[in-house]
Amino acid sequence: MFTFVKTSYSVKFTEFVGNLNPFKKKGVANIGFPSNPLADFAGLIAGRVLYPDINDKKYVNDYCNNSEVYAIIKRISKTISTVPFYVYSVKNKKAFNQYKSMIANASSTADLAKAELIRVKAIEEVSDSPLNDLLQQPNEYQSFSELMENMVGYKLITGNSYIWANRLSNGKVQELVVLPSQYVAIISDGTINGVEGYTFTLVGWDNLPAKDVIHLKYFNPYFDTNGQQLYGLSPLQAAFRTVQRSNDAKDTSVGMLQNQGPKGILYADESNDFGPEQAGKLKEDFYNQYGTKTQGGIVQNAGRILIAGAKLGWLNMGLSPVDLQLLESEKITLRELCNVYGVNSALFNDPDNKTYNNMKEAKKEMLTQVVLPELVAIRDALNRFFGNEMGRDTYIDFDLTVFPELQEDMKELSGILSQSWWITPNEKRVAMRYETIEDPTMNEIFIPAGYLPIDELTMLQDPRNAQQQGDYNIPPVK
């Protein structure tokens, strides 16, 4: 028999569920099991350093030692680094949201040009913002372009990029510094997704609080209780076997050049009386008569015919790079690495995919499929980080018109603007990235001559009003 006792203590259902939420639950040491001193979440104890995968250093070595990996990452990071960032104020929130959606969903350079029309109504540049100085010179030894190249480069190599914001005593950001991601470790706050700070493991710096670090990363499906989900997944991890195959092919080619043994065996037919003495004499005569000799840098004996006094045979001792299909393997490797990074192999001297039209389209494709998503990620991270410092209705954005590949589409945009009478001349100048003109008439809407309101046009076409309009050629309606 059970007896229920009524108490005055009550717990809200939301509090009860919150206590069971593993994303909010702190890890604590499991004292009851000395053999497993880690937390309930296997090490997610507040303040514990979660060291990244040691493969990060290997990925850096792959970038430094593999020409295909270097070329792809270098091209992407260098292209992104040329894009300037500025501070803007939001004029129209509806147009602003539409502009952001158009940029995020752009699939062609024509889409980017059309987004410029919306941008004119959405935002305008704030030239006197202190953040503009930081976006021009983020620290004393780097320009913003160099900072961007480092930032994007580390992300493409290791899947993570860390930008430390060095603050003054008043809390204002004085400089931005990119940290080498292979030496940065995350400090857990005790929850599955929480970050308390970061530590620079190379020199043993003091811990950096999370509020002072901008962490850019790729999606990582490796979700475990050791905190690996807090780190981004390196593209080179997905291409691990491809890069290894490329490295092995290059090592094989270099080894064949450095350790060239005899290419084969020249032997006499069994029917010949050809002993060691005759073999030695033939070898001596061969090198004397047909060995490499030059005159004025020209090989004199190239292509000459060997004359022997016996029937000879040849036994090949090795395979050439062509026979081993090393060259074909490297082409396949290049294309696979390009697929991983989302770029076209035509940009990297693929002999089977190299025409002018392919190059032209490949450059445009890289802008929309690779460069633009990275720029959007950087822009959103900067706006999240500097949101409180900038204040409401202030926005950091990038300028894509620096790319020559957009000029054809900008010509199309110019044609659209010339027909868009409802846009003021100054708005058209801003859309084409020109300065506005301080003239009141440049902010007015000019209606093309000859345009009439639709009501007046209807009256002219109504036979009942024909005589009132002075059109006596149309008989009145009785």
Nearest to 200 by CA among 217, 215, 216, 179: 179
The CA distance from 175 to 127, in Å, is: 19
How would you label 290-324 residue by residue, b for 16+ Cβ within 10 Å and e otherwise? Answer: eeeeeeeeeeeeeeeeeeeeeeeeeeeeeeebeee
Token pair, residue 271, equals 């029917």
The CA distance from 195 to 253, in Å, is: 46
Q: How many residues does the chain have?
A: 478
Question: Amino acid letter at 213?
Answer: V
Token pair, residue 360, equals 């032209």
> Looking at residue 462, what is its pLDDT?
55
Contacts of 176 (CB under 8 A, 6+ apart): 134, 138, 139, 147, 163, 164, 165, 166, 214
Token pair, residue 401, equals 């018109």
**pTM exceeding 0.75:** no
Q: How many CB atoms lie within 10 A of CB 246?
A: 23
Directed axis angle between helix 55-65 and helix 67-81, to 10°? 90
* Residue 189 C-beta-side C-alpha neighbours within 13 Å: 13
Token pair, residue 56, equals 């990060």
∠156-162-166 over CA atoms, to 5°?
A: 150
> Looking at residue 362, what is its pLDDT?
87
Residue pair 148/80 in contact (Cβ under 8 Å)? The answer is yes
> Looking at residue 136, what is its pLDDT?
92
What does each of the 478 residues of the chain score in pLDDT, given as a tens digit?
545 555 554 545 455 445 545 555 554 443 333 444 333 444 566 667 777 666 788 899 999 999 999 999 999 999 999 999 999 999 889 989 999 998 888 888 778 877 877 887 888 889 888 899 999 999 999 999 999 999 999 999 999 999 999 998 888 899 999 999 999 999 988 877 889 999 988 876 678 999 999 999 999 998 877 788 899 999 999 999 999 888 887 777 776 666 655 666 767 666 666 667 777 777 777 767 666 655 555 555 556 666 666 677 776 665 555 555 666 778 888 999 999 999 998 888 887 777 667 788 888 889 889 999 999 999 999 999 998 887 778 999 998 878 877 666 666 666 777 777 777 777 777 776 677 777 777 777 777 766 666 666 555 555 555 555 555 454 555 5
> Looking at residue 139, what is its pLDDT?
93
Residue pair 122/393 in contact (Cβ under 8 Å)? The answer is no
Token pair, residue 381, equals 């991270």
The CA distance from 254 to 326, in Å, is: 11
Q: What is the 3-state secondary structure (H, E, C) of the chain?
A: CCCCCCCCCCCCHHHHHHHHCCCCCCECECCCCCCCCCECCCCCECCCEECCCCHHHHHHHHHHHCHHHHHHHHHHHHHHHCCCEEEEEECCHHHHHHHHHHHHCCCCHHHHHHHHHHHHHHEEECCCCHHHHHHHCCECCECHHHHHHHHHHHHHHHCEEEEEEEECCCCCEEEEEEECHHHEEEEECCCCCCEEEEEECCCCCCCEEHHHEEEEECCCCCCCCCCHHHCCCCHHHHCHHHHHHHHHHHHHHHHHHHCCCCCEEEEECCCCCCCHHHHHHHHHHHHHHHCCCEECCEECCCCCCCCCCCCEEEEECCCCCCCCCHHHHHHHHHHHHHHHHCCCHHHHCCCCCCCHHHHHHHHHHHHHHHHHHHHHHHHHHHHHHHHHHHCCCEEEEECHHHCHHHHHHHHHHHHHHHHCCCCCHHHHHHHCCCCCCCCHHHHCCCCCCCCCCHHHHHHHHCHHHCCCCCCCCCCCCC
